[in-house]
Structure 1
Amino acid sequence: MSANQVAAAVPAEARDALLSRVEDRLRDLFAGEKSRWSAVDPRAAVPVEAVATLVGAGGKRLRPSFCLDGFLAAGGDPALEPVAVDAAAALEVLQAFALLHDDVLDDSPLRRGKPTAHERHAAAHRDAGWAGEPRRYGEGVAALAGDLAHVYASRLVSALSPAAREIWHELSIEIMIGQYLDIRVAAERIADPELSRWIALCKSGRYTVHRPLTLGAAIADRLDLAPAFERYGAALGEAFQLRDDLIDAFGDSTVSGKPTQLDFAQQKMTLLVALAIQRDDRISRLLADGGTGDGATLAQMITDLDVRDEVERRIDHLVEQAQAAIEAAPLDAGWREELSRVAVQVAYRQK
């Protein structure tokens, strides 16, 4: 599809055309890196393969999609499409960085329906009978692969303007600070709903919707759209994370591709858990006593306390906020309609 055809296409088609180029960019990046390092020694390509495997395992591509939406909705110059494509690809690689580390922090056995990187490489260590501890080896491979993903992501955004680069830096910092607070609050068992909401926004919500949209607009040199995208992204980003919490607590792992009730096992102070603790201190005692093995009991208690329904109502309200924000944005009607549709799709997904 030519640049003129992309410009004339309806929003979803225009985005999909650029997303196809993002996939090509990712495939070429990892093919080149695997070939380069395999020529040095086959073992040198292992961390590259770990990143490529995760990126290629069928993620939702939400962050690249929102980045491209921001660029296209802002009327981005076709000459800047390569910069937008690289930035969108960088967001997916940055997501791989976050997930590789997150899976180690959460001791998660599955990601996208397959063994996580640290589990896979620990098993390889055990099977081969290598020296040392398999778990430490597996976690080391995952940590290094995550660091490598961060380097690749940084390289992909090398052509960003100063304004766009500042947005990139901010979202990168927010991920790490939010992730730290996530594990710290779990360790201290702090049941503070407002803090739980802020952590969810910082480590996931902002960098899933708000920052990618604004990054795309910045590439198009339309920072005047930042306030509207922030209102839309803040609301939808929170709804995204709340849906993630509900999927973890009540979802089907065969659909989501990852273990359910892992947040309970890790004693994460999600909004679900924080609200429930405020209503019934038996939940706090259950967590403190290590009684997270019976996730079904905890999930039922959360349901009985009306917390599950309250979070669903919160999601409804956030979707309405996001749609109102985008309806008032200075965008073409087609893009306002598309972003309103996407808000529903993201907030009410099953995986």
Structure 2
Amino acid sequence: MLDQVEKRLRGLLNDEHRRWRTADARGAGVVESLAELVAVGADRVRPVILLTGYLAAGGDADGTAAVEAAAALELLDTCTLIRSDVRDNAALRRGIPALHVSRAAEHERNGWAGDARRFGESTATLAGDLALSLGDRLAARLPAPAWQIWDEMRVERVIGTYAHEAMAAEYLDDPWPGRCISGCDRGCAAGWYALRHPLRLGAALADRPDLDTAYDAYARSLHAAWRLRGFLDGGPEYDWDAELLREILLEREERGIAERLIRELVDRASRTAAAARLTPGWCEELTAFAVRMAAERG
């Protein structure tokens, strides 16, 4: 099914490029930029989670709706990454220059009019708009229950990201994932939309609304474990304030307590999967996925 998702993404972007190369050669440039970024996103994390939720719910492996939804989800994620890179002024994305950086460099090389940085940011944002439009085009064909989850996810993702940015601006952004552990809140911009919504979307596409509660509980526990692992191990999202907090809070004993909490959260997610009525073999798959997500990074 992932091969079909790749084929769908390539075909969609190739068709758009062919269309605009004839109608507007300059317009084709934004399609090229988007296609390059999509092509290097080899992990396809969110499509994998959606398809896992779909197949675990008994979905048909030959079903086209799940492929459409997975491709739409990858485009939505690409839009989010582009806009996040512009906000954060990130230099790299997926091992290549971030889109706003490469477009700004193109502006400078050609000696074009205006400010290169502003050109890079505005054209990258337009590429994000294009990704979102194409994702919505695919999602528009989904069955009504799945489209409702898609629509909910789109809105909550914007509100959650805004809340995260506002909290950071107000010096209220706490790198310690306490809210995730005590019960996920929608103001968190990381992980939540990568787990809960794709799983629920997969269940809806498999016509299994009875799994909504189980997938929600699984995602909450695993999200908390993943966020706690990120805090302990560090990474791009955890800058100097998180490093300082780790040094203050995490002596050897406290780190051991945090590691036990991660294991408890993973066990809770695994028990939730075991209690759900899933296709044989997929409970073990969800358990293994939870272990991988929360594993200590080398």
- Alpha-carbon offset, residue 205 of structure 1: 2.5
Deviations 1:251-305 (A, max 9, x none): 5xxxxxxxx4x5426x7xxxxx4xxxxxxxxxxxxxxxxxxxxx7x676456559
Choose which of 308, 315, 335 in structure 1 pairs with 2:262. Answer: 315
> Does 2:104 correspond to 1:122?
yes
The answer to whether 1:264 aligns with 2:211 is no
- Measured after TM superposition, the shift of residue 223 of structure 1 is 0.5
SS of corresponding position for 2:199: helix
Conserved in 1, the CA contact under 8 Å of 2:177 and 2:228? Answer: no
The one of 268, 273, 278 aligned to 1:331: 278
Report the TM-score, using the length of structure 1 for normalisation: 0.76
1:43 lines up with 2:29 in the alignment:
no
CA separation in 2, counterparts of 1:242 and 1:216? Answer: 26
Rate the CA distance shift 1:301–1:54 in 2: closer, same or farther, 3 A.
farther
* Structure 1 counterpart SS, 2:23: coil
Name 2:50's counterpart in structure 1.
67
By how many angstroms is 1:41 displaced?
3.0
Q: Is the 8 A contact 1:108 1:116 kept in 2?
A: yes
For 1:305 and 1:138, the matched residues in 2 are separated by 45
Aligned counterpart, 2:210: 224
The structure-2 alpha-carbon separation of the partners of 1:239 and 1:200, relative to structure 1 and needing over 3 Å to count, comes to farther
What aligned pairs does 1:1-351 form with structure 2 within 5 A after superposition?
18-77=1-60, 81-190=63-172, 197=180, 198=184, 202-246=188-232, 249=234, 251=235, 260=236, 263-264=238-239, 273=242, 300-301=247-248, 303-304=250-251, 311-348=258-295, 350=297
Q: Do 1:201 and 1:238's aligned partners in 2 also have CA atoms closer than 8 Å?
A: no
TM-score in terms of structure 2 length: 0.88
Residue in structure 2 matched with residue 14 of structure 1 by the alignment: none
Q: CA deviation at 1:31?
A: 1.1
Change (3 A) 1:41 1:340: same
d(CA) in 2 for partners of 1:106, 1:307: 31
Deviations 1:189-242 (A, max 9, x none): 115557863468742333211111111111111101111111111222333344
Q: Which runs of 5+ in 2 are unaligned?
A: none
Do the aligned residues in 2 keep the contact of 1:177 with 1:202 (CA within 8 Å)? no
User: Is contact 1:109-1:119 (8 Å) kept?
Assistant: yes
Letter in 1 for 2:285: E
Q: Does the 8 Å CA contact 2:164/2:173 hold for their aligned counterparts?
A: no
Bigger fraction of residues in helix:
1
Amino acid at match of 2:267: E
RMSD: 2.6
Paired residues of 1:200 and 1:238 also in contact (CA < 8 A): no
SS of equivalent residue, structure 2 residue 207? coil
Per the TM alignment, residue 123 of structure 1 is displaced from its structure 2 partner at its CA by: 1.0
Percent of aligned positions with the same letter in both sequences?
42
> Is this contact kept in 1: 2:161–2:187, CA < 8 A?
no
CA distance, structure 2, for counterparts of residue 311 and residue 107 of structure 1? 32
Count of residues paired in the alignment: 294
Q: Give the SS at the match of 1:132.
A: coil
Shift of 1:51: 1.9
CA–CA distance in structure 2, aligned partners of residues 86 and 190 of structure 1: 38
CA distance in 2, matches of 1:158, 1:194: 35
1:88 positional shift: 0.7
Q: What's the offset of the Cα at 1:111?
A: 1.2
Secondary structure (helix, strand or coil) at the match of 1:203 reads coil
Q: Which runs of 5+ in 1 are unaligned?
A: 1-17, 252-259, 268-272, 274-294
8 Å Cα contact 1:179/1:203 also seen in 2: yes
